[in-house]
Amino acid sequence: MRRFKICVFTGTRAEYGLLRPLMRLIRADKDSLLQVIASGTHLSPKFGLTYREILKDGFKIDMKARMRVGNDSPAGLCAAMSDGLVSIARAYDRLGPDAVVILGDRFEALSAAIASVLMRIPIIHLHGGESTFGVIDESIRHSITKMSWLHFTSTEKYRKRVIQLGEEPSRVFKVGAVGLDSVRTLKLLEKPDLERRLGIVFDGPVAAVTFHPATLESGSAGEQFLALLNALDLFPDLKLVFTMPNADTGRGEIVKLVKRYVRANSKRARAFISLGQLGYLSLLKHAAIVIGNSSSGIIEAPSFRIPTVNIGDRQRGRVQGPTVIDCAPRSADIAAAIKRGLTIGFLKKCGVSKNPYGDGKASPRIFAVLKARIRKGADLKKVFYDLRP
């Protein structure tokens, strides 16, 4: 019996970290052949050449699909998507996959999805049905849903939303968030090892800070981030570990402000282009609080039972657990949220909370369904599923 070629597309460091447990299952299966296409910021020196993390983990990169990701203007992102569409299509043509796995809602993923549809390759979509009101990812995510053949969602609410978008219920599965698989299985760094890696001593509370542009709020990235920095000034005993933003419109302004702030606060602040999944999850293990507007504060951080201060609208609409404190992107509101998150009462609440995104066993569930369905073959003649009135 021939081996089924399952291609995994990855365009960012964060996305790869989520996909890694599933990639290992595919690679270990005697009936499957794992193919990997690395694209987007993985191939950019500006973003740390993170494709090397894939190789370091022992995976073979079958094709590199280059995209110009250095220009974070809207026109620059359009050019990057155009590059991606051409280079990813060439990769598909050479590899001939039976299916392609695409996660989430990034513009890099949209290029991969469009190429898949035009080349009649079934799409396995992870993390569909979610909602993020403040970014263009909202539209991209739902667009990829409509192009996809199988859907694996992180919560029941999102499974129902994918069906509401007209997808056949028998092809939509609630499995939990794949990012929690690594939280459950990775051997995380102990505090001394993490301190050496980050170059900062955890002799007090530490905050993991990640702030991305809210791409539907034109021109506000720098203003909102300045509000966050002003709030952090009010907590001089809080050590700060910044991770740099995604390749979105407005990224450059945030990066400049981070670098300037770290230079002015070198005794308590560090900044990193990429910590890798091991470094980042280890940071969450030892951090006192997560601050910013990254999905990791909503999805992964609750598994460590630490508070998250979620700023602005970028993640508004996502399912949230009791460890998350929402606030407006204003200095006073951010400061109040941080203060609340660090209170004994709220920390106790976090300590007994349950992550609404599952148990960290999503990848085995995905692979079991994926393998069974690929054997049967994919009928790409989709019919819009109408909800009953």
Q: Where are the domains positioned within the chain?
A: 4-176+360-376, 188-351
To which H or E segment does residue 267 belong? Answer: none
pLDDT tens digit string along 226-238? 999 999 999 999 9
Alpha helices by DSSP H, listed for the chain, are: 13-28, 51-56, 74-95, 107-118, 137-147, 156-164, 179-185, 191-198, 221-232, 251-264, 276-286, 295-299, 331-341, 344-351, 362-376
- What mean pLDDT is predicted for residues 203-214? 92
Percent of the chain with pLDDT over 70: 98
pLDDT the model gives residue 1 = 63
Running DSSP on this structure, what letter comes out for residue 313?
S
Task: Say if residue 218's pLDDT is above 60.
Answer: no
Cα–Cα distance, 331 to 344 (Å, whole number): 22
Q: Which residue has the higher pLDDT, 370 or 220?
A: 370
User: In the predicted model, what is the mean pLDDT of residues 170-185?
Assistant: 96
DSSP state of 22: H
Average pLDDT over residues 109-121: 96
pLDDT score at 379? 82
CATH no. of 188-351: 3.40.50.2000
Q: What is the pLDDT of residue 187?
A: 95
Out of 3-7, 101-105, 122-126, 218-222, which region has the weakest mean confidence (pLDDT)?
Answer: 218-222
Question: Average of pLDDT values for 197-206?
Answer: 92
Given this model, what pLDDT does residue 216 score?
55
Residue range 133-144: mean pLDDT, rounded:
85
Question: How far apart (Å, rounded) are the C-alpha atoms in residues 345 and 103?
Answer: 36
| CATH level 3 topology of 4-176+360-376 | Rossmann fold (3.40.50)
pLDDT average, residue stretch 37-43? 94
Mean pLDDT of 186-197: 95
